[in-house]
């Protein structure tokens, strides 16, 4: 039996938060012109141990199917105040922004230059029956969503002079529910190969800066 079951899906909670004046930086879309004031940020999340996402995002309210295997991550312009891991949303969302980072492939996200702090995110990855209720004499299973929440608190630098920047692969050690430790791995060569395969107009492997993110805090189990 799981140590703890999240009855409220992480993504359902995030969907409410993203409606609270949170700026969303969408991943690169070849059908949309690349904004002149943005820099392509290349990143990835690696879970240790690996997890297989067995539920589709539509189970989480307001999240499109195309987000499968992607963490919804929240960023803030500062990280002066530590996160509160005991809260469902452990950070002040004032001025916050949101990106999606894949755990299966490199993510390519146009973002404004400057310093950003990747602070908090999560992924719904499984469901389990936790009981049965009877309605009109018929059994109805009670389903709970299993989620993993990560609190990386990583500072990333997006240079104004760059066309693209690789900020690292965020390696997240976890227990199936919360992150335990976050480190930044250098997979620059792999990221360049993924960029070449993406064939983004005006951006080549020669245009990519490497500015690995910096973990500024680690958090204990809530």
- Domain residue extents for the chain: 10-29+37-215
Checking if the pLDDT of 63 tops 70, the result is no
Distance CA(195)–CA(20), nearest Å, equals 33
Q: Which residue has the tokens 């250098």?
A: 186
pLDDT of residue 135: 85
Of 53 and 63, the one with more pLDDT = 53
Highest-confidence segment of 52-61, 71-80, 88-97: 71-80
The whole-model pTM stands at 0.84
Q: Which residue has the tokens 């492997």?
A: 205
Checking if the pLDDT of 186 tops 50, the result is yes
Distance CA(137)–CA(211), nearest Å, equals 61
Q: What are phi and psi of 42, to 5 degrees?
A: -110, 130
Checking if the pLDDT of 33 tops 80, the result is yes
Average pLDDT, rounded, for the chain: 84
**Beta strands 138-150; 154-158: pairing state:** unpaired
Q: What are phi and psi of 18, to 5 degrees?
A: -65, -10
Checking if the pLDDT of 88 tops 80, the result is no
Residue-level length of the chain: 222
Sign of the dihedral through C-alpha 175, 177, 178, 183: positive
Q: Which of 112, 114, 105 is nearest to 195 (CA)?
A: 105
Alpha-carbon radius of gyration of the chain: 18
73: cis peptide before it, omega within 30°?
no
- For 75-104, what is the mean pLDDT? 88
Q: Residues 6 or more apart from 176 whose CB is under 8 A from it?
A: 2, 3, 51, 146, 148
pLDDT of residue 19: 52
Distance CA(25)–CA(110), nearest Å, equals 7
Comparing 37-51, 139-153, 182-196, 206-220, the range with the smallest average pLDDT is 139-153
């Amino acid at each position: 039996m799981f140590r703890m079951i999240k009855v409220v899906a992480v993504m359902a909670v995030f969907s409410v938060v993203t409606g609270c004046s949170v700026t969303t930086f969408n991943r690169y879309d070849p059908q949309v012109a690349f904004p002149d004031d943005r820099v392509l940020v290349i990143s990835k999340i690696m879970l240790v141990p690996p997890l297989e996402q067995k539920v589709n995002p539509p189970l989480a309210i307001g999240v499109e199917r195309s987000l499968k295997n992607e963490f919804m991550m929240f960023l803030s312009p500062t990280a002066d105040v530590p996160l509160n891991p005991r809260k469902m949303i452990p950070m002040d969302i004032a001025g916050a922004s949101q990106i999606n980072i894949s755990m299966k492939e490199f993510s390519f996200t146009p973002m404004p230059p400057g310093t950003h702090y990747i602070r908090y995110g999560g992924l719904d990855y499984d469901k389990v029956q936790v009981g049965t209720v009877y309605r009109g004499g018929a059994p109805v299973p009670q389903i709970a969503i299993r989620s993993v929440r990560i609190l990386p608190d990583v500072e990333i630098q997006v240079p104004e002079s760059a066309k693209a920047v690789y900020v690292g692969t965020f390696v997240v050690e976890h227990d199936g529910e919360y992150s335990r430790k976050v480190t930044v791995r250098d997979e620059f060569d792999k990221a360049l190969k993924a960029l070449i395969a993406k064939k983004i107009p005006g951006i080549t492997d020669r245009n990519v800066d490497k500015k690995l993110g910096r973990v500024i805090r680690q958090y204990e189990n809530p």
